């Protein structure tokens, strides 16, 4: 899922300062699962903003909505009938969802209520960790299911490097060396021959290095 963290309330209050009526828009997708942008978070944020604004002497009117997904046009369109009745939309979906709203509703300012994080997993309730950088050319079959692009701080393809000490990465004592994890796992799977099969170089044109990406599935159009 795409993860994120709430923006500090002070920052959000500053963003909404010019407005007297706004929409707070959540998303039932990833951000609901990582408890930062779902229906409950919409209620809490809207209440918080109303209380803060009323206490400061200038009330704000808020419409609370939660779309199934903010990254799909059919759900975004559901907001069209009323979006222009409000001065701004504060979205707590991921950056993709927020931008999609901005793209569809061109005369309404869009404000981000969360800081979007990464593609990751829930390690336990309240703790998420990065697992994939969407490089567009997956090598997990050769690396024991552990991503070298993400789990190695340097995204090396032939690690571990000299900074790996007893399984720990030199960048932080709490970060495991991704390559040590890969080698240990390959050994456990009896697949060390895969280590030699890694590509001589990885093309990064399918990653962010080639600019904003697009997936076109002719079979689905």
Return the one option of ligand SF4, another protein, none that residue 52 interacts with (CB less than 5 to 8 A, by type).
Answer: another protein
Nearest to residue 178, comparing CAs of 165, 166, 169?
169
What is the 8-class DSSP label of residue 168? Answer: B
Structure tokens, 74: 């059919």
Q: How far is CA 106 from CA 61, 112, 154, in A?
A: 21, 16, 39
Return the one option of another protein, ligand SF4, none that residue 94 interacts with (CB less than 5 to 8 A, by type).
Answer: ligand SF4
Q: Judged by CB under 6 A, which stretch of 80-88, 139-147, 176-184, 210-218 contacts ligand SF4?
A: 139-147
Considering the complex, state which of residue 87 and residue 206 has its C-beta at the smaller distance from ligand SF4: 206
Q: Which string of b and e fits 5-25 if b means at least 16 CB within 10 Å?
A: ebbeeeebeebbeebeebbbb
Residue the block writes with tokens 């991503």: 147
Q: Give bridge partners of residue 66 from the DSSP assignment.
A: 26
> Residue 50: enclosing H or E segment and its boundaries?
helix 39-55
Pairing of strands 114-124, 127-132: antiparallel
Return the one option of ligand SF4, another protein, none that residue 93 interacts with (CB less than 5 to 8 A, by type).
Answer: ligand SF4
Q: Which string of b and e fits 141-151 if b means at least 16 CB within 10 Å?
A: ebbbebbbbbb
Binding of residue 133 to ligand SF4 (CB under 6 A): yes
Q: Are 24 and 62 in contact (CB under 8 A)?
A: yes
We find the least distance from the C-beta atom of residue 46 to another protein, in angstroms, to be 9
Q: Which of residues 14-73 bind another protein (CB under 8 A)?
A: 40, 43-44, 47-48, 50-52, 54-57
- Over the window 36 to 75, marking each residue x when it contacts ligand SF4 by CB under 6 A and - when it does not, the resulting string is ---------------------------------xxx----
Q: Judged by CB under 6 A, which stretch of 25-33, 81-89, 101-109, 122-130 contacts ligand SF4?
A: 25-33
Binding of residue 139 to ligand SF4 (CB under 6 A): yes
Q: Judged by CB under 8 A, which stretch of 6-14, 132-140, 175-183, 213-221 contacts another protein?
A: 6-14
Binding of residue 76 to ligand SF4 (CB under 6 A): no
Structure tokens, 109: 């300012």
Return residues touching ligand SF4 (CB under 6 A): 2, 27, 29-31, 69-71, 93-94, 96-97, 132-135, 138-140, 147, 149-150
Return residues touching another protein (CB under 8 A): 9-10, 13, 40, 43-44, 47-48, 50-52, 54-57
């Amino acid at each position: 899922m795409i993860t994120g963290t709430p923006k500090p309330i002070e920052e959000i209050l500053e963003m909404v300062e010019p407005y007297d009526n706004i929409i707070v828009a959540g998303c039932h997708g990833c951000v609901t699962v990582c408890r930062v942008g779902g229906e409950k978070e919409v209620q809490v944020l809207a209440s918080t903003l109303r209380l803060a604004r009323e206490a400061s002497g200038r009330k704000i009117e808020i419409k609370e909505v939660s779309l199934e997904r903010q990254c799909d046009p059919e759900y975004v369109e559901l907001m069209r009938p009323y979006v222009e009745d409000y001065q701004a939309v504060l979205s707590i979906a991921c950056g993709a969802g927020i931008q999609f709203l901005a793209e569809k509703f061109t005369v309404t300012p869009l404000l981000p209520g969360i800081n979007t994080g990464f593609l990751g997993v829930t390690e336990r309730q309240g703790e998420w960790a990065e697992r994939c950088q969407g490089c567009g050319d997956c090598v997990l079959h050769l690396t024991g299911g552990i991503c070298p692009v993400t789990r190695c701080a340097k995204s090396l393809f032939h690690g571990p490097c000299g900074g790996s000490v007893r399984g720990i990465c030199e960048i932080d004592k709490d970060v495991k060396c991704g390559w040590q994890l890969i080698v240990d796992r390959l050994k456990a799977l009896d697949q060390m021959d895969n280590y030699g099969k890694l590509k001589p170089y990885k093309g990064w044109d399918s990653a962010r290095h080639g600019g904003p990406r697009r997936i076109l599935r002719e079979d689905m159009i």
